[in-house]
Amino acid sequence: MNGGSSRLQTVKRKIRLYLPLIKSLQTFLLLATGLAGYMSARCPIFHFPTLLGLSGSLFLAISGSTVLNMWWDRDIDAKMGRTQKRPLPSGELSAQETLRLGLVLSVIGMAWSALLSPLYAVVIFAGWFFDVVVYTIWLKRRTCWSIVWGGIAGGMPILAGRALGTGSIDLIGILLTLSVLFWIPTHILTFAMRFYSDYQNAGVPTFPSCYGFPVTRATIAASSVLAALTIGTASVLIGVQWGFVRLLAVLSSGLLLLAIGSLLRPNEQVNFSLFKYASLYMLASMILLSIQQ
């Protein structure tokens, strides 16, 4: 009885430690893009096994790459106020255990994706490779332009979902990928400005440190607008109902408004609001793409 209770406690403790490693909000948003990519090709769909396979394999592959990112960046995380309380830099988890977890999640996720479709698996692997090897290990500490590769990695789940639905990589899939790629700077650059000194202390080159805040704000505004344009174009090409296109246009105008606001009256609150709105916008767009008929 005691042994069972103690095992349960251990499992609970592990889950509590592992959860922050997968950045649940970011993983959920990327998972939503993957589902939307799939639904954009096959909606309405109620093929439960495929949806379960897509959700499960994507969740595991994204979580695996995020955990490996945390493992590689543990020295940087320890220097930054925002991240030093994470389980790895705070010493609650060992580097070896984190590496093992990241590899296990990645391998299971990719193996599961290979069972669903070879093309889908290739795209998932490309996303994992761009995120872990190109972005995290190779470029993040060398150039502020690494975010482009981080963005491409972030665009892979939606492309994978679309590829699973259509069986090919088409123009719509590429546009959807671009929309996520353009959305990523809003996320990463906002954090780079908000936690500027943290990144400086850790020696990570960022847009604000290389080009200054005004250029960074302009980049965020431009990429937000480009994200809205590409997702709008993709929606029209998919044949989304006009009502949903109208709604998307209204939501895009809010994004445009905040982007202009961040350029005209730059301050931290507006910048962070643009980031929050852009996340909400991306989620809403994905829901619209998923429920369109």
User: What is the contact surface with other proteins in residues (CB under 8 A)?
Assistant: 241-244, 246-247, 249-251, 253-254, 257-258, 261, 269, 273, 276-277, 280, 284
Give the integer Cα–Cα distance in Å for 77 and 90.
9
Element (H, E) at 260: helix 242-264
Give the integer Cα–Cα distance in Å for 206 and 204.
6
Residue with Cβ nearer other proteins (8 or 257): 257
Give the integer Cα–Cα distance in Å for 254 and 285.
13
Q: At its nearest, how many Å lie between other proteins and the CB of residue 109? A: 33
Residue with Cβ nearer other proteins (203 or 239): 239
Q: At its nearest, how many Å lie between other proteins and the CB of residue 180? A: 21
Q: At its nearest, how many Å lie between other proteins and the CB of residue 251? A: 8
Residue with Cβ nearer other proteins (168 or 267): 267
Residue with Cβ nearer other proteins (119 or 247): 247
- 243 CA to centre of own chain: 27
Residue with Cβ nearer other proteins (169 or 245): 245
Residue with Cβ nearer other proteins (46 or 242): 242
Q: At its nearest, how many Å lie between other proteins and the CB of residue 253? A: 7
Q: At its nearest, how many Å lie between other proteins and the CB of residue 154? A: 22
Q: Where are the alpha helices (DSSP H) in 19-144?
A: 24-42, 48-72, 74-79, 95-116, 118-129
Give the integer Cα–Cα distance in Å for 285 and 36.
9
Compute CA distances 183 → 51, 150, 189, 251, 273, whole Å: 25, 11, 10, 14, 14
Give the integer Cα–Cα distance in Å for 148 and 207.
11
Give the integer Cα–Cα distance in Å for 230 and 140.
26
Q: At its nearest, how many Å lie between other proteins and the CB of residue 267? A: 11
